[in-house]
A and B are shown apart, each in its own frame.
Chain A
Amino acid sequence: MRGYFGKKTTLAAALMATASMAQAADVEVLHWWTSGGEAAALNVLKDDLAGQGIGWQDMPVAGGGGTQAMTVLRARVTSGNPPTAVQMLGFDITDWAKEGALANLNDIAAEGNWDEVVPQALQKFSAYEGQWVAAPVNVHSTNWVWANKAIMDELGLEEPQTWEEFTAALDAAKAAGYTALAHGGQAWQEATFFDGVVLSVGGPEFYQASMIDLDPEALGSDQMKEVFDRMGVLRGYVDDNFSGRDWNLATAMVINKEAAFQLMGDWAKGEFLNAGKVPGEDFLCFRFPGSQEQVTFNSDQFAMFAQGDGVSDEQAALAKAIMSPEFQIAFNKVKGSVPARTDLDASELDACGQRAYEDFKAASASGNLYGSMGHGHANPASVKNAMYDVITAHFNGEYDSETAVEELVTAVEISQ
């Protein structure tokens, strides 16, 4: 392996030396969930562990969807003092597993029958070369459209089923003086559009080829040019002040009837609920037109860092608690996502949540569950960010569609 420590044994030795620094029977958890709802949900986990006599040492580092936390993690691991458990996304887990830094959770997984209840698409990240290394907490899906129902009723709009119907609806909203599409100009938000648009243009095969397999032919194809053209069309429905706007402020525009639609992951639901809006009555949620069958997802997981020789009792307890049906339901109710296992009763979730859970199970069963490029589940961080650069430059008018396609091919090549 090309690890920093030369050999895995050195790493293990370094970790063993410091394992004694953390008190026995405590877990130190690095995460970036610091908002009220998320923290309340984590508290469920904390209390569960406390019941087993295991203390919780909290190490929150918020910012940038976990990028700050990942930097801190790098420093902690390099110094031989890694946290016991770390919140992680997608390819980060795989990268750390490659370095040989993660503990093997196979015994706990076998006991909890994780192989059966966790969808294959998730296992791609939770397990590395046949070893379970992380416990998935939730599944967010990203190809949602959020709509203000009052505007749709006013304009006599139906849920659009195709790209053409969607642009017609956007036109109608624009003509009526609304901001048709609420959007925040940050790279990841534009990449969230991109997920849906790629699916709507070329279907799942094209998504697989271009976003996951990174096939240069698919990346440089005419279909990709069509994708960028559609991104340009969407750009036309966004207001002038979009640059740098936080996603929740864009959601607020839909809530306040300033804007008709927003393309955003299911976490947007929390904003609607907090504002006292009722799903189905005040706002609607539906899949990005042209990607109804597919679910693009991202999944927060907790990876366990090896403590000496394998997994500690506390880590085992934590992993077990994360996968327990009670925690999965309690957490995802608050977070707006769906449980990471397919065998639960979702009646406690709200209307959008139940629909999402059904979609998720169906997509999982039919092989239509795809990792979201915009959220680091289709390709590694280096490729993802290279794609971000091109998508966001095109969206901001720096490239035309043709240049964007060329740049995409080069950028992906450089980043690998």
Chain B
Amino acid sequence: MSSNASATVVRTGAGSRFVIYTLLILFCLYYLLPLYVMVVNSLKPLSEIQAGGMMALPDEWTLAPWASAWSTAQIGVEATGLRPFFVNSIVMVVPAVAISTVLGALNGYVLTKWRFRGDTIIFGLLLFGCFIPFQMVLIPMARMLGIVGLAGTVPGLIFVHLVYGIGFSTLYFRNYYQQFPTELVRAAMIDGAGFFTIFRRIMLPSSGPIAVVCVIWQFTNIWNDFLFGASFSDFDSQPMTVALNNLVQSSTGVKEYNVHFAGAIMAALPTLLVYIVAGRYFVRGLMAGSVKG
């Protein structure tokens, strides 16, 4: 992990720098466009949207759609807005991400520093599990949750996310810890340090960057999940994505696009925030391990 985190030394002339900046800015537009459409239209009255002009700035700026999406929009029988579902999502996401990250770290630690016969096969099995299509596991999973009495509960939902997130968590930490000097671990062992002591004192303190990568990955996936959230939740634990879907997909009646967009941005705010705040550590984390062989 001695890589120097600076930009390349390749030199470029003034002309090509102009081209580079132009290209970079053009791509900024490509990436920002959908967000622009959403933001602009969430600040318009509905009549302006119906009149057309998807790209135009609002003639009349209004925050009413945001207020409506947050607290008064129709989600089900009661017009609660998205507010109550935020809590449901957080209660589910935070433990799921935390457990999955810790478990991933422990697995990565075992698979690189306490190797045993067959550990590669186990890792391969975990990794291949990432590729299982979720639609396939819905029914057997429901049966299992029913048998252990976790059906329709938040712990049940956390468990499901844990099961299908563990492959990637382990992948990230294993690749990261592989770079970590084994000599340090071995020296600690000779000094008589135990399994967990070494993990806590030696591995954890330097795991920051990869933990960020893992947390970002898991947080985004779990927060955005719809299928499990809809299928394994109860009336009082439906997550944000299900509520957003109810808001946007209502079958009949006038589609309030401005409220839909406001709600969509709102539902995405936590993940956006995670990316913006932790984004700077993200490349650092990736660099420190997961993409190196």
Contacts and interface: CB of A to CB of B under 8 A. Distances in A.
- A and B touch in their complex, CB below 8 angstroms: yes
Contacts of A83: 235
Interface string A7-48: 000000010001001000000100111111111001100100
B119 interface: no
B252 A270 contact: yes
Nearest to A43: B77
B249 A62 contact: yes
Contact of B235 (A35, A39, A58): A58
B246 to A, nearest CB: 4
B133 to A, nearest CB: 14
Contacts of B231: 71-72, 75-76
B235 A34 contact: no
A90 to B, nearest CB: 16
A35 B250 contact: yes
A274 B230 contact: no
B211 interface: no
A74 interface: yes
Interface string B192-203: 000000000000
Contact of B146 (A32, A38, A56, A80): A80
Contact of B77 (A37, A60, A64, A75): A60
Most A-side CB within 10 Å, residue of B75, B78, B231: B231
Contact of A59 (B78, B235, B255): B235
Given A35-B74, A39-B74, A39-B79, A79 B152 contact: yes
B250 A62 contact: yes
Contact of B230 (A58, A71, A80): A71
A79 B77 contact: no
Contacts of B238: 59
Contacts of B151: 18, 76, 79-81
Nearest to A247: B252
Interface string A221-234: 00000000000000
A274 B138 CA distance: 39
Given A35-B74, A57-B236, A59-B234, A71 B138 contact: yes
Contacts, number: 123
A33 B249 CA distance: 10
B139 to A, nearest CB: 5
Task: Give chain B's interface secondary structure class.
Answer: loop
Interface residues of A, number: 46
A108 interface: no
Interface in B231-269: 231-232, 234-236, 238, 242, 245-255
A105 B254 CA distance: 36
A34 B76 contact: yes
Given A39-B74, A68-B230, A248-B255, A62 B246 contact: yes
B50 interface: yes
Contacts of A36: 74, 79, 250, 253
Contact of A39 (B76, B141, B142, B234): B76
B235 A33 contact: no
A277 to B, nearest CB: 13
Contacts of B251: 32-35, 38, 62, 65
Interface of A: 14, 18, 21, 28, 31-39, 42-43, 46, 56-65, 68, 71-72, 74-76, 78-81, 83, 246, 248, 252, 267, 270-271, 274, 335-336
What are the nearest 3 A-B pairs in CB distance?
Answer: A79-B146, A35-B253, A79-B151
21 contacts: A34-B75, A34-B246, A34-B249, A35-B251, A38-B251, A39-B77, A39-B78, A43-B78, A59-B76, A61-B246, A71-B231, A72-B231, A75-B138, A75-B141, A75-B231, A76-B142, A79-B146, A79-B232, A81-B234, A252-B50, A271-B253
